[in-house]
Structure 1
Amino acid sequence: MLVMLVLVVLGVVLFDTRTRMKRLETRLALIEMDTSLVRADLAPPPVRPSPFTRAPAKAQATPRPEPVAPVATLVEPAKVSRPEPAAPPPPPAPPIAAPEPAIGTPPVPAPVRQAAASSRPGSAFEDLFGRRLPIWAGGITLAVAGILLVKYSIDTGLLSPVVRVMLGLLFGGSLIAAAEGALRQEERLRDPRVRQALAGAGIATLYAAILTAANLYHLIGPTTAFAGLAAVTGLAMALSLRFGAPSALLGLVGGLAAPALAGSSEPNVPLLSCYLALAIGGLCTLSRTQRWLWLGVGALVGGAGWGSLLILTGALDVASALSVGLLILALGIGFPLLAFSGSRATLIRAVSATVAAAQMAALVATGGFAPLHWALFGLLSIALLWLSGHEPSLRRLVPVGLGIALLLAGVWPSPPLLSFTLVITGIAALYGSAALRRLWRPAGGLIEAGQVVAVALGGLAVAAIHFYRAAPADDIRFALIALLAAALPLSGMAQGWRRADRKHGARFVMLATGAAVLLTVAGAFGLPGWLAPVTLALVGAALLTLSEQAQDYRVEYSGWVFTFVALTSLFMGDRGMEESLRLIGDATAIAPLSAMLRWSVVAAVAALFAWRARFAEGRVVAQAAAAITAYGTVAQVVPALWLAPITALSLPLLAQATRRLSPQRLLPAIATMLLVVLLWAAWPLLHWTGQAMLSLVGQPMLASNLPDMSDMLRRLALPAALVALTLWRGRFGMIARRAGVAAAILMGAVAMHIGYKQLFAIDSHAGFIHAGLAERTVWEALLLGAGFVIWHFAQHRMVALGLIAAALAHSLFYSLFLHNPLWATQAVGTLPLITLLLPAFALPFVALSLTRRIAPDLTVRFDRPIQGAQMLLILFFAYNVLRQLFEGSLLNGPHLAMGEDIGRSVLAIGLAIGFLLRGIRIGNRDWRIASLLLMLSAVAKVFLLDAAGLTGLLRIASFLALGFSLIGIGWLYSRQLKSDAD
């Protein structure tokens, strides 16, 4: 007990010391400022050099002539009406060495010395510890002396307990009387801390005496002790008006601690609540009158602590619960409104009201959710509503109270239906009616709109948590409850429909969104689950229509959200998964009518948004969504076999619509359907691409490994034709048209190739050996013919060049390099020159000739590669024909006859002569160089290989042929080189 009292008194002392320290710091700062100004004023003037002191040569300057004063000024200064301006001062003398401080320095005046001395840290220390703190230390010492006096009498047994207590009371009263005497002798003492210390010591002594009588000697009961402590608290508050804040601080601590210090094991809760209300009310009143904010805040904090302690002690009877509830109401609403004013009052009231709401909720929960506790919470809610109306800045408190009320109702364990209905109805009546009343007034705003929506949605959610059992009767009942709850935001919308300021805020949008959610929930309860997308889509369409009628585009955004959720819900659940698989051709059994209803309604709403929405970027998305869901609608009832053609058929129909509407308005839908068409074509395209990639490494591209004719026609050929028709009938921009052309060409070319492969029907390796060269040759001829027709009749130069280039590349890569009959097993026919070799090797020449006619500029630029390709073609054709003369249809046999070997050398010499003649004729040096290379190769072969195996006339003939050939070539070269030199 002694330690507690010492701490209390020390707290008072430190509080006052802190205030005085601040004042001391302010005074010290002012003194330092004044001292610096005085020193600046008293600074000695600059020392002028003595006439006997020679200045340094560096500092010498040419003296200015002294200005001559006017004669009138020298003779009769009083008669001059306009005095001349004063002459400018002479320039300052150069600096010299500073004199000693004791020489020529004027003395500092006494006031300045005193001010400077008082600003030193040592004087501040002396002022604090020598003049101020001893007074408070004396007060503490007196309080401790009283306590020690009582303790001494106890230890020695000199006085009886009654006498000891009485002496303690008399000593405390004497100290208070001494404080009164110090107040009356203010003119002599001139220090208010003396009376404050005496009064604080007296109050602490009275507290100690009463607590000793009750807890140590048991001379008085808890009730009497409690009354005595309350009386001392009242005395402390009264003395604070006379002696200052320390007495109030003691009253605060003692008054709040008195119930705990009284020593009662079973307190009277109503009496305790009444005492706390009176004590805290008195402290708050004192705080307001004396403008001691800390006193009121401390009283409210202590009261909130007592309220929480009383709630946590256990179940309270009716009187106790009522008294605690009223105490919480006073602490949260009444006292903050009474005690505080100014800029900080709003924050304090908001925090107090929030704490009171939480404590009231705890009281309801610990009290078993009895009607009395709910009534107390309702009383607090009324107070919150009144407070928010009285002070508009506290409007945010109402949602806090509503949230706590709904949370309490949600955690109510097994509530009776009648009691729960009354509570929810009361919550809705209090908070909903107040929000509707303020909603469209000048002070109304989003808080009130959110409150209306929260009442409707929260009440429905809490009711569903407790009473929904997924029974048919519950579904109908909760659907009706949801419709009834939707009437609350709908009524708020109706109130503000004709108001001019409806568009200035988001209140109308929030109400519309809340009503839409409740209508959706009603549909979820009252309708089958598979109709959820339909309900969501219809609500989204209603919001779009409401946005147009209300001329508030923000409502449209809520409609977008509902429509997006509707679109997403189509793919959710088992039914959604089954219906979604129909989009990719899966033959899952479904309910076609219900599926068609789901997809068609969402498609119609998406189309409505694409047509009527104001959100331009959203319209693009809505149009794509409408196209997808329309396709999904068709997929629910049309067999998967016909989905690709029907999807492609939609393209020209949409293209025809672009003639009446802007192409940009339908372009997203057309692009979406084209994407679906390409997705259907993806499987045959990927299948064909895989085989084409394998063909690049030499594996034959067999017809049996490609998509069949049915897939080709449905997924590639017919869609390609319909895409082409779309491009013909529609009006599109350059980018869209090029994308369509690329898609049509891709699908059409692959379809044509698959169909062509099916005509030859090469389905085995033996078939590829027998007809592979013929198949490639005819395909290349078709490409060349198509290129020629497009160039000659349609005048599409680039398309023609593309087809011709494809034919040439196909021939060079597959027939000349990859599947050349010289090293690949390919049948060419048995009759010389009447075989597949002639058309196979003639087609590249035709392709190069057509390229030269169509694009002469390209042939000039790529002349050398073209000449090289022609040389290779001639060489391969000649050697293929030579090989055929000896081997027949298959040219890659392992055996080489002697005659064929000699024929190769002769053929090389002949080709060399031909290349030379052609190079001379067209004036191309590349042909001549190729001729030399062939001739050198032939010579090397004859000398190194052929001559070694020949004897007799054959060897002589070979050498003769080689000799004449070399002579002829040399003669031709000499003539050509001479003509070049000329």
Structure 2
Amino acid sequence: MLVTLVLIVLGVVLFDTRSRMKALESRLALIETDARPAPSAAIWPSRTAALRPVAAAVVRRTPEEPEAPILPIPAVEPRPFEQPEPVVPSPAAVRDSAPVAAPDPILSPETQAASPARPGFAFEDLFGRRLPIWAGGITLAVAGVLLVKYSIDTGLLSPVIRLMLGLLFGGGLIVAAEGALRQEDRLRDPRVRQALAGAGIATLYAVILTAANLYHLIGPATAFVGLAAVTAIAMGLSLRFGAPSALLGLVGGLAAPALAGSNEPNVPLLSCYLALTIGGLCALSRTQRWLWLGIGALIGGAGWGSLLILNGALDLTASLSVGLLILAIGVGFPLLAFSGSKAILLRAASAVVASAQMAALVATGGFAPLHWALFGLLSIAFLWLSGREASLRRLVPVGLAVALLLAGGWPSPPVLVFTFVMAGIIALYGSAALWRLWRPGGSLIEAGQVAAIALGGLAVTALHFYRASPVDDVRFALIALVAATLPMLAMALGWNNPDRRDDSRFVVQAVSAAILLVIADGFGLPGWMMPVTVALVSAALLILSDKAKDRRVEYGGWAFTFVALTALVVGDRGVAEAGRLIGDVSPVTPLSALLRWGMVAAVAAVYAWRARFAEGRVVAQAAAAIVAYGAVAQAVPTSWLAPIAAFSIPMLAFSSHRLSPQRLLPALASMLIIVLLWAAWPLIDWSGHGLLSLLGQPMLASGLPDLSDMLRRLALPAALIGLTLWRGRFATIERWTGGAAASIMGAVAVHILYKQLFDIGSGFDFIHAGLAERTLWEALMLGAGYVLWRIAHYRVAALSLIAAALAHSLLYTMLLHNPLWATQAVGSLPLLTLLIPAFALPFFGLTLAGRIAPDLALRFARTIDAMRMLMTLMFAFAALRQLFEGSLLKGPNLAVGEDIGRSVLAIGLAIGFLLWGIRTGKRDWRIASLLLMLGAVAKVFLLDASGLTGLLRIASFLALGFSLIGIGWLYNRQLKSDAD
């Protein structure tokens, strides 16, 4: 503990030292920054100013210019020393600047002493002028309480005498306030009389509460009347003495019922008192323009109303009185209390609170007819307010929403009473909304009311009485149709209104009616008919949009079209029908499925044809093509779907001479996507085996798609897409996209067909026919590339095929399945071996690519030479291996003669590389020759010579020696020619 304390003390000391150092640094920096000019400049500013032009002229003179003569400086009489005027910073500048420890050297001590302190006035005004008067009033009130308490503690006076003295003291304070008012010319401070009057009112409140709750000299009713009388006195005094009396009246008047001490209040009498008190305070608020007084009165009244409702157990009279109080507080008193720009917001807030309280009254009262009648009065008041001030029309939807929520939360309502309540709600709010909808000032508020009444009324009714029976289905279908007549009537009333296109009133009614028609279908028709009904409704909205010249209605139709498309694939039936688009054979009902998909496709086609929303037409056309394909899928076998989708592409492209394929591009794109989806499985299957082949696993025909799938999903679509691109007029991007798709599918189809022709289905077959299959495939690709170049003049396509052939050869023949290290049959006869075409084809491919694209060949010349060297070496050693091993080059043994032959072959190849490099002038071939020769020499000396004896050893050394001499001579000659 001691160590901890020591550390803390040291930390504090260090921190204090650091703070002092920083302060010292700040003061030094400030002194350096605020350095002033020399006294001479300050004392004789005119002489300094006279010297500045001369100095400037001297500085600006260049060496080329002649030196100007020095003019004599006129004599200036010295002036007496003058102290410069001090610059006193403003309080704001002092406040905003950083704290400075040292005094400003400009200011003299006398000036600093004369500078007034900035916070002095605020301090004196607050604590010397304002607070003492109010503190005195509070002190007088406390003195009255202490006086009464003293009399109680000492027992000097009886309770009655004490209360009488308290009343006299309170009255005396009020009289003193009146005297202060009459002596205004002497006091000249209105707060004196306000403090005296406030203390008097507080004393009267305290006396009455003491009489009722402490001494029980008067009953609750008498105390209640006394408090109300004091409240009235306070409001009256506020007119004479000002706002403090009104504040006391507000607090005391609202607190009086709670302070009176009655455990079982008379609710009607209490409601009447609250209404009178709050009304008086609101009237006083308006006359005196005390906005806070009216707001406080309404808040207090709302609190009392909520308290009365939450207490519950209200009889008929109490419920009526509370309901009327809520109505007065929510609607009447705000009109009485407020005026001006802020009145609208306060009235709206009061009305919202009143609606919530009235809803609570209805709910706690058991949804009795009386409570509904009171709510009806509140609704009428809302409608009257909204008619009186247009800005309060937003209150009407609040009342409607509360009414519908109350009706929805009504537990087990009687049918007859519920019918009358709903009829009243529809009659009040619906008629008012229809009346105002198309008149001047009508807006979306009324349009939303009509829609909410129709939809909300149906929802509330179904919530209580729908039982999912055939009878209820028909009944509620009829109710939905009847409800749809309300927005239809609103549309009919506004059809000839010239202003209906200015906003969304008309479209709100149209969409509401459409929703109700769809709901009627949901009740009255089988579930599988939902997409048909929604599609027909969306078509009707499109037609209505055209007739009404209102584009907003079309937007609503788009929403219903989307719902129709979604409804097609919802439910068990929808899932089964959607599965047939991708080849699922789940059983469906063909007639109903064809009706569902066909109707939605037709409506989507109508939108693609007649809609004015350009981007939407693109989407609709694409959707129409897909759904039409889905309709066909419901009636034809799944094996026909891929060919049908492929045939639809040229049919759409050439369907009409008047329509360019560009006009049907969305539909063509949709069908192309469907074709690609059908081709996805064989493409994925082929790609999977292709990826495995990159790892060395043979790509066998038994693992690829069969010929039937290949023809239906790949070959036929590729041919039809190619025909469409060949005969149609398409832009470049469409040609490239379609061409890429057709090329990929066509290439995979040809490869699958080629694999099926060789029918390599096992590893044994791959060993004996794999090299032949690859070599022929590469030859076909090179031949196709040559034909495309020489006949069709397609340079890019030709280079692509040649590059693919070269990549195939290098990857599979030279690397993965090279006969030197992979088990591959090459043939037994050296002259008829597969090695010659297998290694010659890459040479031919590189040469052909160089002729087609000489610029690329020149750029990659060194890479091409390296590939040729590598293939030459592989072919030579493979041919040597074949002489000793036969068809399968991957043998376990290495004969001595073959080993010597490798060395000789290496030397021969080195000589050949050197001669070729000399002939073509390519240094890379000569370097390769040297490397090959060095490798051969190292092999002869390190490996071959150690295992040879006799003539073989001599022959090997002789061959190596002559080879080295010949290579050296050739190099010497070549290097001399290069030097020359």
Q: Do they fold alike, i.e. is TM over 0.5? A: yes
Distance 1:938 1:211, change over 3 A: closer
Residue 508 of structure 1: aligned partner: 506
Offset, 1:339 = 2.6
Distance 1:233 1:662, change over 3 A: same
The separation in 1 between residues aligned to 2:616 and 2:682, in whole angstroms, is 34
Q: 2:779 aligns with which of 774, 778, 781?
A: 781
Residue 714 of structure 2: aligned partner: 716
TM-score by length of 1: 0.82
TM-score by length of 2: 0.82
Matches within 5 A, 1:927-938: 927=925, 930=928
The separation in 2 between residues aligned to 1:149 and 1:96, in whole angstroms, is 73
For the pair 1:696 / 2:694, whether they are aligned, the reply is yes
Query: What secondary structure does 1:835 align onto?
Result: coil
Offset, 1:373 = 0.5
Distance 1:174 1:605, change over 3 A: same
Residue 818 of structure 1: aligned partner: 816
Matches within 5 A, 1:553-564: 553-564=551-562
Distance 1:812 1:658, change over 3 A: farther
For the pair 1:268 / 2:263, whether they are aligned, the reply is no
CA contact (8 A) 1:409 1:462 kept: yes
Q: 1:291 aligns with which of 282, 289, 292?
A: 289
Residue 755 of structure 2: aligned partner: 757
The separation in 2 between residues aligned to 1:261 and 1:959, in whole angstroms, is 131
Residue 772 of structure 1: aligned partner: 770
CA contact (8 A) 2:538 2:557 kept: yes
Residue 411 of structure 1: aligned partner: 409
CA contact (8 A) 1:578 1:588 kept: yes
For the pair 1:628 / 2:614, whether they are aligned, the reply is no
Distance 1:167 1:963, change over 3 A: closer
The separation in 1 between residues aligned to 2:571 and 2:80, in whole angstroms, is 101
The separation in 2 between residues aligned to 1:826 and 1:194, in whole angstroms, is 120
Per-residue Cα deviation, 1:137-168 (whole angstroms, up to 9, x for no partner): 58536854885698589x34x65x66766666
Residue 580 of structure 1: aligned partner: 578
For the pair 1:843 / 2:841, whether they are aligned, the reply is yes
Offset, 1:772 = 1.4
Residue 397 of structure 2: aligned partner: 399
Give, as a single letter, the amino acid of the residue that structure 2 aligns with 1:430. L
Query: What secondary structure does 2:264 align onto?
Result: coil
The separation in 1 between residues aligned to 2:700 and 2:516, in whole angstroms, is 63
Matches within 5 A, 1:883-902: 883-902=881-900
Distance 1:97 1:526, change over 3 A: same
Query: What secondary structure does 2:500 align onto?
Result: helix
Residue 463 of structure 2: aligned partner: 465
Q: List alignment gaps of at least 5 residues for structure 2.
A: 1-41, 51-75, 87-117
Matches within 5 A, 1:909-920: 909-912=907-910, 914-915=912-913, 918-919=916-917
CA contact (8 A) 1:226 1:262 kept: yes
Query: What secondary structure does 1:637 align onto?
Result: coil
The separation in 2 between residues aligned to 1:380 and 1:482, in whole angstroms, is 28
The separation in 2 between residues aligned to 1:966 and 1:232, in whole angstroms, is 134
Give, as a single letter, the amino acid of the residue that structure 1 aligns with 2:727. R
The separation in 2 between residues aligned to 1:195 and 1:934, in whole angstroms, is 122
Give, as a single letter, the amino acid of the residue that structure 1 aligns with 2:527. G
CA contact (8 A) 2:141 2:202 kept: no
Offset, 1:118 = 12
The separation in 1 between residues aligned to 2:701 and 2:963, in whole angstroms, is 50
Per-residue Cα deviation, 1:483-513 (whole angstroms, up to 9, x for no partner): 2222222222222222222122222222222
Residue 96 of structure 1: aligned partner: 82
- Larger mean Cα displacement after TM superposition, 429-438 or 832-841: 832-841
Query: What secondary structure does 1:501 align onto?
Result: coil
The separation in 1 between residues aligned to 2:954 and 2:135, in whole angstroms, is 144
CA contact (8 A) 1:655 1:727 kept: no
The separation in 1 between residues aligned to 2:897 and 2:146, in whole angstroms, is 143
Give, as a single letter, the amino acid of the residue that structure 2 aligns with 1:516. A
Q: 1:371 aligns with which of 366, 369, 372?
A: 369
Residue 230 of structure 1: aligned partner: 228
Per-residue Cα deviation, 1:898-925 (whole angstroms, up to 9, x for no partner): 4444444554455555555555555555
Q: 1:519 aligns with which of 517, 523, 531?
A: 517
Distance 1:254 1:975, change over 3 A: closer
CA contact (8 A) 2:173 2:196 kept: yes
Q: 1:489 aligns with which of 487, 490, 497?
A: 487
The separation in 2 between residues aligned to 1:566 and 1:423, in whole angstroms, is 36
Give, as a single letter, the amino acid of the residue that structure 2 aligns with 1:381. S
- Larger mean Cα displacement after TM superposition, 355-364 or 536-545: 536-545
The separation in 2 between residues aligned to 1:858 and 1:369, in whole angstroms, is 91
For the pair 1:638 / 2:636, whether they are aligned, the reply is yes
Distance 1:242 1:980, change over 3 A: closer
The separation in 1 between residues aligned to 2:485 and 2:753, in whole angstroms, is 66
- Larger mean Cα displacement after TM superposition, 745-754 or 173-182: 173-182
Larger RCO: 1 or 2 (CA < 8 Å, sep 6+): 1
CA contact (8 A) 1:655 1:729 kept: no
Distance 1:286 1:725, change over 3 A: same
Give, as a single letter, the amino acid of the residue that structure 2 aligns with 1:846. F
Give, as a single letter, the amino acid of the residue that structure 2 aligns with 1:364. V
CA contact (8 A) 1:146 1:205 kept: no
Distance 1:61 1:569, change over 3 A: closer
Distance 1:227 1:978, change over 3 A: closer
CA contact (8 A) 1:544 1:613 kept: yes
CA contact (8 A) 1:496 1:502 kept: yes
Residue 529 of structure 1: aligned partner: 527
For the pair 1:352 / 2:354, whether they are aligned, the reply is no
CA contact (8 A) 1:833 1:881 kept: no
CA contact (8 A) 1:449 1:510 kept: yes
Residue 326 of structure 1: aligned partner: 324
The separation in 2 between residues aligned to 1:931 and 1:137, in whole angstroms, is 117
Offset, 1:461 = 1.5
The separation in 1 between residues aligned to 2:119 and 2:590, in whole angstroms, is 103
Residue 799 of structure 1: aligned partner: 797
For the pair 1:739 / 2:737, whether they are aligned, the reply is yes
Offset, 1:346 = 1.6
Greater Rg over alpha carbons, structure: 1
The separation in 2 between residues aligned to 1:152 and 1:924, in whole angstroms, is 128
Offset, 1:895 = 3.0
Offset, 1:189 = 6.6
Distance 1:956 1:539, change over 3 A: same
Distance 1:218 1:643, change over 3 A: same
CA contact (8 A) 1:583 1:635 kept: yes
RMSD: 3.7
The separation in 2 between residues aligned to 1:794 and 1:725, in whole angstroms, is 17
For the pair 1:672 / 2:670, whether they are aligned, the reply is yes
The separation in 2 between residues aligned to 1:793 and 1:660, in whole angstroms, is 35
Offset, 1:383 = 0.6
CA contact (8 A) 1:285 1:338 kept: yes
Aligned length: 886
Give, as a single letter, the amino acid of the residue that structure 1 aligns with 2:716. L
- Larger mean Cα displacement after TM superposition, 319-328 or 144-153: 144-153
CA contact (8 A) 2:148 2:162 kept: no
The separation in 1 between residues aligned to 2:269 and 2:702, in whole angstroms, is 101
Q: 1:280 aligns with which of 275, 278, 281?
A: 278
Query: What secondary structure does 1:502 align onto?
Result: coil
Q: 1:338 aligns with which of 310, 320, 336?
A: 336
Offset, 1:689 = 1.7
For the pair 1:140 / 2:141, whether they are aligned, the reply is yes
Distance 1:147 1:197, change over 3 A: farther
Offset, 1:99 = 12
Give, as a single letter, the amino acid of the residue that structure 2 aligns with 1:844. P
Distance 1:978 1:223, change over 3 A: closer
CA contact (8 A) 1:388 1:397 kept: yes
CA contact (8 A) 1:536 1:565 kept: yes
Offset, 1:763 = 1.0
Residue 104 of structure 2: aligned partner: none
Per-residue Cα deviation, 1:575-628 (whole angstroms, up to 9, x for no partner): 333233223222222223323322222222333333333333333333332233
Residue 103 of structure 1: aligned partner: none
Per-residue Cα deviation, 1:850-891 (whole angstroms, up to 9, x for no partner): 334433444444444444444444444344334333333222
The separation in 1 between residues aligned to 2:258 and 2:932, in whole angstroms, is 122
Residue 599 of structure 1: aligned partner: 597
Offset, 1:171 = 6.2
Residue 112 of structure 1: aligned partner: none
Give, as a single letter, the amino acid of the residue that structure 1 aligns with 2:678. W
